């Protein structure tokens, strides 16, 4: 079950965090994984982990490749997808965060968040969907957030962008039903990634353990999620076993949305 053998998966932001966990798992399930990421070092490390000859099983595992790409640059993204050629699975995972309210978010910061989190997803959809249609179908998975459903303090631009991702998911799912293209989204709560550790170290250098504990307990389940837990959900939604699932958002949030609504 959940085999991705002979499938090609493109994962944006696949060099670290949730994207890396998805890339590693998809390769273990047999997919050829193409990572699009601006962080060449992180992407290279992920490729080394996936393509490690000592642990690589030629019968079951897929290889991984990296393209240096800025998802906000449509021309660049279109060229990358043309180079890849066949796309069975697209995971729109690349994104950036921002802290600020409506009256404390600068126009430049708002544009930056929208360019990456919203336009970046649009650009990948624009490039990938024609390839999927020509190939007889495909699967798209967008990374939204609990911020699309629940008000989170000081996350105005970020929440706006993730709300757009959810709406885009519904639109794409409906528009391409007859092209055999499924589209869903996942909405993680706080997941323990290097980004979280860096955020805490930068903003709370004197009380990192206290802040980590506080952020962990903001999930009703009492801890942050693991990237690998998100990857398992992504695997199901992108597998043939989820062939009857489209146009749906899946929270993976330790009870955050339900208990905070």
Give helix 120-134 / helix 156-175 axis angle, nearest 10°. 20
Phi, psi at 111, each rounded to 5°: -60, -40
pLDDT at 260: 66
Tell me the per-residue pLDDT of 208-232, one tens digit each, with 9 for 90 and over. 999 899 889 888 999 999 999 999 9
Q: Which of 67, 158, 176, 250 is catalytic?
A: 158
The residue behind tokens 């409906």 is 174
pLDDT at 261: 61
* Alpha-carbon torsion (4, 37, 16, 184), positive or negative: negative
Under-70 pLDDT residues of the chain: 53, 260-261
Cα separation, 234 vs 228, whole angstroms: 10
CB 172 within 8 A of CB 140: yes
- 8-189+227-251: CATH topology is Rossmann fold (3.40.50)
Exposure string for 167-184, b = 16+ CB within 10 A, e = fewer:
ebbbebbeebeebebbbb
Active site residue 204: no
Q: What are the residue ranges spanned by the domains of the chain?
A: 8-189+227-251, 191-224
Give helix 156-175 / helix 107-114 axis angle, nearest 10°. 30
Tell me the per-residue pLDDT of 31-40, one tens digit each, with 9 for 90 and over. 999 999 999 9
pLDDT at 258: 83
Cα separation, 102 vs 97, whole angstroms: 15
Cα separation, 3 vs 30, whole angstroms: 6
- The residues with which 241 forms a beta bridge, in sequence order, are none
Give helix 208-217 / helix 194-203 axis angle, nearest 10°. 130
Element (H, E) at 22: helix 17-28
Cα separation, 195 vs 121, whole angstroms: 20
Q: Can you read off the two tokens belonging to residue 76?
A: 């660049």
Q: Can you read off the two tokens belonging to residue 104?
A: 């404390």
Contacts with 38 (C-beta within 8 Å, 6 or more apart), sequence order: 68, 69, 70
Contacts with 134 (C-beta within 8 Å, 6 or more apart), sequence order: none
């Amino acid at each position: 079950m959940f085999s991705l053998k002979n499938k090609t998966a493109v994962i944006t932001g696949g060099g670290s965090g949730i994207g890396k966990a998805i890339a590693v798992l998809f390769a273990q399930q047999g997919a050829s994984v193409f990572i699009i990421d601006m962080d060449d070092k992180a992407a290279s490390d992920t490729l080394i982990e996936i393509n490690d000859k000592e642990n690589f099983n030629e019968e079951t595992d897929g290889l991984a490749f990296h393209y240096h790409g800025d998802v906000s640059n449509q021309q660049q993204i279109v060229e990358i997808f043309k180079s890849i050629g066949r796309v069975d699975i697209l995971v729109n995972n690349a994104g950036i965060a921002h802290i600020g309210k409506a009256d404390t978010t600068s126009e430049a910061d708002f544009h930056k968040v929208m360019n990456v989190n919203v336009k970046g997803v649009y650009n990948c959809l624009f490039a990938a969907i024609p390839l999927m249609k020509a190939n007889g179908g495909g699967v798209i998975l967008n990374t939204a957030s609990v911020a699309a459903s629940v008000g989170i303090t000081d996350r105005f631009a970020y929440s706006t962008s993730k709300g757009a991702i959810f709406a885009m998911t519904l639109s794409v799912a409906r528009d391409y039903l007859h092209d055999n293209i499924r589209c869903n989204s996942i909405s993680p709560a706080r997941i323990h990634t290097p980004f979280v550790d860096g955020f805490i170290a930068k903003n709370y250098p004197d009380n990192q353990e206290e802040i980590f504990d506080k952020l962990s307990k903001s999930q009703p389940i009492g801890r942050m999620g693991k990237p690998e837990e998100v990857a398992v959900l992504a695997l199901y939604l992108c597998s043939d076993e989820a062939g009857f699932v489209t146009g749906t958002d899946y929270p993976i949030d330790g009870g955050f949305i339900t208990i905070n609504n």
